[in-house]
Amino acid sequence: MQAEAGPEADSWPGERLSRRTFRDETLLVLALSLGASGVSALISFLGSVTKPGGLKDQAATLNASAAPGRPWLDLAWQLFGIATALVPVALVAHLLLREGQSLRTLGFDRSRPWPDLGRGAAVAAVIGSTGIAFYLAARGLGFNLTVVPEALPGVWWKYPVLVLSAVQNAVLEEVIVVGYLLRRLRQLGWAPGTALAASSVLRGSYHLYQGIGGFLGNMVMGVVFVWLYRRWGRVGPLVVAHSLLDIGAFVGYALLAGKVGWLPTA
C-alpha cells in the first residue's frame, strides 16, 4: 500500500499492525513517561490547592540536588536521571523500526540542522518572552506556584547538568507528545483537531504541578507546537526551541536569582 504524504503518514513494511496493538503500545509508552507525569502533576496540584496558604507562597522546584553535600554522588544521580528519562524515546525508536520507519519519520535527525536551528531559535525567542510575562502574571494573580528552575549546589558540573536536563526535557516531550503521539492517533483514526487537543492537554497536564498558569500556558504552547509540526513535518525545530527555552529558564535562574527584583524566588 502506498504511504500517504505528511509527517503523520501511515507506512507498513508488510503485515498490517492492528489498531489494538497501536492503542496498547501508545498507552504503555505514555504510562512509562509523560502520561504518568501528568497523573503525578495532578496529585501534586491537589496537594498544593488543599494546603493552607496561596499557591504563590508555595514552590515547585526543578533540578534539585539528589545528594546534598556529596557532589560526586549528586552528579551520578543527576546523570542517571537524565539518561533513564530518555528510555521512552528509545522505546519509540524501537516501535517505529517495527514499522520499517525510524525517528527520521518524525523529523528527528540531522538531515536539516541549520533550518531546524534557525526555526527553533525564532520560536524560542517569541515564546520565551511571552512565557515569562504569562508566568509572572499568573503567579501575581495567585494561579501559580513559585517555580524554582534549579536548586543545585554551586559546583563545576552545575551548568552542564542544567543544559543536559534542558535537552533531555525537549527530546522526551517533543518526540513523544508531538511526533509519536500524533502519528499513532492518526493511525488510530483520530481527527486532526481531536489529536491536537489531546497532545496539547497532555502537555499541559504534566505541568499542572506548577499551578493553573503552568497548565494553561503549556497547553497553548502545545497547540502552537502541533501546528508548527504539521506545517514543517519535523520535530527537530521544536526540540531546538524547547531546549533553548529550558536552558534559558534553568541557567537564567541560576545566574539571576536574588540579583534582580522581578524574578520570584522561594
**Would you call 241 exposed, middle or buried from its count of C-beta atoms within 10 A (0-12, 13-18, 19+)?**
buried
pTM of the shown model:
0.92
- Amino acid (one-letter) located at 154: G
Q: Are 244 and 121 in contact (CB under 8 A)?
A: yes
Helix locations, the chain, DSSP H? 19-31, 34-49, 71-85, 87-98, 113-140, 158-173, 181-187, 192-205, 212-232, 236-256
Angle, nearest 10°, between helix axes 192-205 and 34-49? Answer: 50
The series of mean pLDDT values per 10 residues for the chain, 266 residues long, is 48 64 96 98 97 93 97 98 98 95 97 97 96 95 96 97 98 98 97 98 98 97 98 98 98 96 90
